[in-house]
Each structure stands twice: as C-alpha cells, then as structure tokens.
Amino acid sequence: MKLPEGDKESRWNALKEIVTGCPTCNANLNPGAQVVFGVGNLDADLFLCGEAPGAEEEMQGEPFVGPAGELLDKILAGAGLSREAVYVGNVMNWRPKHEKAYGNRPPTIEEMSFCMPYLRAQVEVVRPKVILALGRTATAALVEPDPAVKMGALRGRWWEFEGVPVMPTYHPSYLLHNPSKS
C-alpha cells in the first residue's frame, strides 16, 4: 500500500484511520468488537509483533491488554523496558472468528495476507531497530511461512523484514501455559 505523506505522527494517524475504517476488517469483526491497530512509541527501537487480538483486545481496540499483555509487561519490565518505550502491533487487525465466543484460532493464510500491508506500513512508519516476533504466527508473517519449520529452528537467531532485524521468540500466551520455557 502507498503510505500517507507527512511526518511520522501524521502518517501513523492517517494509517490508523485507513485501518480502523477498512471495510474488510470491519466485516470480519465479532459483534461489539473493534478493529485493533498498533499502539505505542513511534520512535521506539523495539517493535513487538503479536498474532491477533484476543477477546479483551477486540473489545478495547488495543493490542495486548488481556492476560498475554500482562505477562508481556512483566517480560518488558524484566528487560528494563516499559510499554511507553516500545511499539506493539499484531499481524491481524481483527480477532479471527471462532464458533465459540471465547475460542481463539490462528489466522488463515488469506487473513494474514490481507492484513500484512497494514503491518508492513507500521514497520515503515516506526522504522524500529529491532522487531520481536512473538510466536509462530508473527514469525510466519515476518520470517518463515512454512509450517513444517518449527519455532525451535527459528527462535534465537536474527532474520530480517523490510531491512529491519527480526528476532523470533515464544508468544506470551504460550509462556503462560508453558512457564518452564520462560
């Protein structure tokens, strides 16, 4: 997609308006839910990329505000970082529909492909020094889409997306259920 013109903030604001008004994103929303766009420091060195909004994120319209977000904050604090210092986005701008109200499922390749230009545009506006890909879906979007390649083979090494170094790591939700991996 063609990025809006102007300084960082006005480009980001224009982008947010495009994404929150995106007809496909809105058509995919659950009842009462909102399109979720990235949030944070536009001058951040670190861009955290998650998978998709969950139940709380789709209601509040913000990434990582539920249980995974709480753990993310603790992980950031452990690294001496606050939310205010980083930028947080997701591959998806809507929560993938599930037959159970509280069920989550990974996005399909088609869903991810649709939202990818929005993620790429956010990376282009923020131009972070590093992207942390949280989990296999973010890693698929930014680094390696082949599901046969497992996280173990991808994490802990540097990759690249749009010229920005990418470090894949476990998703906070995975760590919530597998604390021994922290």
Binding site for ligand URA (CB under 6 A): 50-54, 57, 63-64, 66, 68, 90, 173
Q: How far is the CB of 7 from ligand URA (least distance, A)?
A: 27
| Distance of closest approach, residue 88 Cβ to ligand URA, in angstroms | 7
Comparing CB distances to ligand URA, the nearer of 56 and 124 is 56
Cβ(123)–Cβ(81) under 8 Å? no
Q: d(Cα 36, Cα 62) in Å, to the nearest integer? A: 5
Q: Residues 144, 138: contact at Cβ < 8 Å? A: no
* Residue 7 one-letter amino acid: D
Taking the complex as a whole, the smallest distance from the CB of residue 140 to ligand URA amounts, in Å, to: 12
Identity of the residue, 4 or 67, whose beta carbon is nearer to ligand URA in the bound complex: 67
Rounded Cα–Cα distance for residues 10 and 7 (Å): 5
Alpha-carbon torsion 131, 132, 134, 135, what sign?
positive
- CB closer to ligand URA, 50 vs 128: 50
Q: Which residue is nearest to ligand URA (CB)?
A: 50
Cβ distance to ligand URA smaller for residue 64 or 94? 64
- Bridge partners of 167? 132
